[in-house]
Structure 1
Amino acid sequence: MPFAEIDHRRFHYQDTGGPGPAVVLSHGNLMDGSMWDAQVAALRGEFRCISWDERLHGRTEDDGAPHDYWASARDLLGLLDHLGIERAALVGHSQGGFLSLRAALLAPERVRALVLVDSSAAAWPPQALAQMGQIAEGFRSGGPRAVAPALLDLLLGPGDLHTGLHAAWQARWERQPRERLATAVNVLMAVAELAGRLSEITAPALVIHGAADQPVPAALGVMLSELLPGAEPLVLIPDAGHTPPLTHPEPVNAALAGFLRARVTADAAG
């Protein structure tokens, strides 16, 4: 099981290896690197795919302290250093997009391209913050079983449509300490507005968004695609909620592979 020692933390990651251009896939809040398994399976061989567990998630070993997404962006850049990767395409879902945008601002010379899936550059409105506060408190006081049914409906869609996914992710949450889960949600709540700096990010970009996303409405994906100078037309996944890499992998894989071949493979060869 590979780990990278970065700033006194041990980050769990998976690396397919190979000579292809590097693609780093960063997961959303309360997920882990395994959420990208379908995408890695579709891309491996053609691309070197690296998925990882961010702070407070999965098998990564950290101090459990709160942080911000600038720190997570530095973690990602540290992972590139650990792996000896000079430049990579960054693919991020939700909070994985938050940290990928910040990595592109911190080290633009290291980012070949950006793919943002159901992500945003906006701060949360009061109603969303209140809801997330209740979720964090639910994890602390009652554990995953207290929040899983409603929260997994938000993240993955109705349980009657995605029974296996709901069960798998609830089981993952139940292996984590309650306080760790709650702190991860508190970190999410504190994300700051970044829209005013998107014009500084000139890397080729693709925005993919679930048309039925409730936590991060599709209008926020539209905003990203309009404000990022190098963005392709928005890819909207019909009927998909907040986590289409898990619930709608085929259209996500098609859009992702097409963009990477057009924008990253050619750049790496040239």
Structure 2
Amino acid sequence: MSPDLTGVSSPLAGHFAPSTLRYRDGHIGLVELGEGPTVGYLHGMLGNPGVHAVLDELAAAPNRVVAPSLPGFTGSSEADGLRNLHDWVVATSEVVDLAGLTGAPLVASSVGAMLALELAAIRPEAFGPMVLVAPFGLWDDDDPVADPFGTTLSVQRAMLTEDVSASAAFFDDPADLPADMVVEHGVHRYLTRTAAAQLIWPLPEWGLAARLHRVTNPVTLVHGAKDRIIPASYLGRWAEALPNVVGTHLVDDAGHQVDFDQPAGVARIAAAAFA
């Protein structure tokens, strides 16, 4: 069944998701571009800002790229009623179905990669092969994950991408944005950070390690060599914990959100994984 598109453009069209899907009592944002086999993209902490090079790179493969925004993130209604991890996993399952991504290959980043793993552990048919960029969900007391929320916005920005300009679509107000939309851009930014914090603060460890043996999907792991949130050593931890890892990639000159720092590289990895 095709997704139920409302056809309503976002007031930030060109900067945020151009379409919406009805979801519960609100909506979720949806970016869809390109033609070819369907590939899903599940965003990380930065959501789906309008200028998002990895989506263009994935579409150039060529693919039909479908990138929904989770509740509370850019372009979607607030995450009302999502009280715990179980609620978030159920919401992710609904979003995947609404966006028409059930069974499709998936690129997922950061908090989105964590939720994709949680869903795959209980619903393996939700995805095909997965490319996961720096997932949250594991914890080592001797090599802890950093807290990106116990700091200033500028420091958080430096923690998310090695090249701070790579996250400009999220953190900076476009020069041509009307004054009233600047306020809305700020609201989206605040809500996105709040939704991400619900998932990983104060400790991004929900017992996922005990469920990973159920993830049977082929998984390709990607991690930034300069990740200041999740140490690069976690690439090996994930590779040991997951039962069906088909490739690992440590990407130079990339921070936590490799999909923003090195979008062409992530697209090449995805093309090989989904071939």
Q: TM-score, normalised by structure 2?
A: 0.76
The C-alpha deviation readout for 1:172-219, integer Å capped at 9, x for no partner, is 663437476345324321541311221111111100001111201112
Q: In 1, are the aligned partners of 2:74 and 2:192 still within 8 Å (CA)?
A: no
Partner letter of residue 209 of structure 1? H
**How do 1:159-198 residues align onto structure 2 when only pairs under 5 Å count?**
161-162=163-164, 164-171=165-172, 174-176=186-188, 178=190, 181-182=193-194, 184-189=196-201, 191=204, 192-198=206-212
**Residue correspondences, number:** 244
CA distance in 1, matches of 2:189, 2:267: 33
- Structure 1 residues 36, 63: CA separation in 2 closer, same or farther (over 3 Å shift)? same
CA distance in 2, matches of 1:151, 1:69: 23
The C-alpha deviation readout for 1:22-45, integer Å capped at 9, x for no partner, is 32211112x112488323222326
**Mean Cα displacement is larger for which, 86-95 or 124-133?**
124-133
- Mark the runs of 5 or more structure 1 residues left unpaired by the alignment: 136-146, 262-270
Q: TM-score, normalised by structure 1?
A: 0.78
CA distance in 2, matches of 1:153, 1:130: 13
CA distance in 1, matches of 2:263, 2:34: 22
Partner letter of residue 134 of structure 2? D
**How do 1:121-200 residues align onto structure 2 when only pairs under 5 Å count?**
121-123=137-139, 131-132=147-148, 134-135=150-151, 147-157=152-162, 161-162=163-164, 164-171=165-172, 174-176=186-188, 178=190, 181-182=193-194, 184-189=196-201, 191=204, 192-200=206-214
Q: Show the counterpart of 2:217.
A: 203
**Structure 1 residue 92: deviation in Å?**
1.2
How much is the aligned-residue C-alpha RMSD, in angstroms?
A: 2.9
**Structure 1 residue 66: deviation in Å?**
4.9
Partner letter of residue 113 of structure 2? G
CA distance in 2, matches of 1:129, 1:239: 19
**Structure 1 residue 129: deviation in Å?**
7.9
The structure where helix makes up a greater share of residues is 1
**Mean Cα displacement is larger for which, 4-13 or 95-104?**
4-13
The C-alpha deviation readout for 1:116-151, integer Å capped at 9, x for no partner, is 10113314859968844524xxxxxxxxxxx22211
- Mark the runs of 5 or more structure 2 residues left unpaired by the alignment: 1-8, 10-18, 174-184
CA distance in 1, matches of 2:255, 2:225: 7
**Structure 1 residue 17: deviation in Å?**
6.4
What's the % identity of the aligned pairs?
A: 20
- Structure 1 residues 16, 56: CA separation in 2 closer, same or farther (over 3 Å shift)? same
Q: In 1, are the aligned partners of 2:111 and 2:196 still within 8 Å (CA)?
A: no
- Structure 1 residues 152, 126: CA separation in 2 closer, same or farther (over 3 Å shift)? farther
The C-alpha deviation readout for 1:60-80, integer Å capped at 9, x for no partner, is 012555544443333333233
